């Protein structure tokens, strides 16, 4: 069972309303915004590292546990460089699937936060960097605290 499904199941069992910050269609449009050439390049990069998939997951989990989420976004670029792939494809992926979606998630989450008692769950990549939700909430004047 995915973590998303576990959170949703827990909310439902406690009669807590679940509100999506984006639609499935919007998510699919984000993927579609990446050119075919970049998608093919990313697929080839994935295949080039297929035998190291477990190591990649361990690296990502370790970075997350150490609160070094920025490392995850840079990992794709570093891997592309090592294997001689275009970094532009990694940038296109991050732009379409992370940075552009952050703005939508931020804007749609504000009324929920202002209403109070909100729990916002997003993928870790949406938390980091200058376009990340953490930075956007701070710029909007919210105080954030990390919890364990």
Please check the confidence at residue 1 and state whether its pLDDT lies above 70: no
Burial class (CB in 10 A: 0-12, 13-18, 19+), 11: middle
Q: pLDDT (tens digit, 9 = 90+) per residue, 75-134?
A: 777 888 888 777 788 888 888 989 999 999 999 999 999 998 888 989 888 988 899 999
The confidence score (pLDDT) of residue 101 equals 95
Query: Could you identify the residue written with the tokens 């009669």?
Result: 15
Distance in angstroms (rounded) separating the CA atoms of residues 39 and 124:
22
Mean pLDDT of all residues in the chain? Answer: 88
What is Dmax (Cα atoms) for the chain? 51
Q: Between 135 and 75, whose confidence is greater?
A: 135
Please check the confidence at residue 146 and state whether its pLDDT lies above 90: no
Distance in angstroms (rounded) separating the CA atoms of residues 57 and 40:
22
pTM of the model: 0.79
Mean pLDDT of 2-19: 89
The confidence score (pLDDT) of residue 89 equals 82
Distance in angstroms (rounded) separating the CA atoms of residues 18 and 117:
13
């Amino acid at each position: 069972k995915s973590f998303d499904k576990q959170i949703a199941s827990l909310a439902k069992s406690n009669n807590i309303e679940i509100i999506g910050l984006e639609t499935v269609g919007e998510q699919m449009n984000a993927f579609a915004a990446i050119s075919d050439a970049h998608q093919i390049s990313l697929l080839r990069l994935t295949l080039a590292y297929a035998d190291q998939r477990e190591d990649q997951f361990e690296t990502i989990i370790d970075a997350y546990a150490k609160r070094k989420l920025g490392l995850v976004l840079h990992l794709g670029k570093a891997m592309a460089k090592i294997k001689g792939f275009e970094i532009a494809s990694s940038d296109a992926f991050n732009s379409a699937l992370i940075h552009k979606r952050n703005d939508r998630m931020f804007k749609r989450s504000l009324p929920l936060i202002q209403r109070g008692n909100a729990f916002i769950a997003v993928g870790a990549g949406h938390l980091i960097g200058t376009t990340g939700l953490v930075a956007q909430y701070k710029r909007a004047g919210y105080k954030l605290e990390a919890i364990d």
